[in-house]
Amino acid sequence: MKLKYFTNTPAQTKKLGRILAEEILKTPPIKKAFVLALEGDLGGGKTTFLQGFAKGLKIKEKILSPTFVLMKKFRIPKSNFQNFYHIDCYRIAKVKEILNLGFQTIISNPKNIIAIEWADRIKKLLPKNISNLRFIFLNKKEREIVLQFKNGK
């Protein structure tokens, strides 16, 4: 299933993230982690979207791009899911770097929700049943966000 959304402000982008997270929380965990692969240009709205997404997961901590640390882990309160991982692959030089962080174990746990910015840089490691988000600049303010579920949702 492919859905297209248009946002004109960061607040609208955050709201879309919050709504998607709330819907994911309504679904029971499946065999592996729920993975969101985010792609798009620098400044396209990926981190802004994830700030709203984390709010929808009821996470209180501030969400910033983990570009320099690669990955941050947050506890999801009162849910069938336990952890939210925010991974940023912008500075990944070799796929092996993400493996050294325990990536295979993280994506194998059905109680994890994982959002990966610059996911195209580790495409070889991603499971087939993921959800893709593509952020497209239309003009200075407007973004097109294309959501494609590959896991039957």
Report the CATH number that the domain containing residue 97 is assigned in CATH. 3.40.50.300
CA neighbours within 13 Å on the CB side: how many for 22?
9
User: How many domains are contained in the chain?
Assistant: 1
Residue 34 within a domain: yes
- Domain of residue 47 covers 30-137
Residue 121 within a domain: yes
Residue 10 within a domain: no
Residue 153's pLDDT is 40
Residue 8 within a domain: no
R_g over Cα of the chain:
14
Each of the 153 residues of the chain gets a pLDDT tens digit; together they read 889 999 999 999 999 999 999 999 998 888 899 999 999 988 788 989 999 999 999 999 888 776 667 889 999 999 999 999 999 888 888 888 888 888 999 999 999 999 999 999 888 888 888 999 999 988 888 899 999 876 444
Residue 65 within a domain: yes
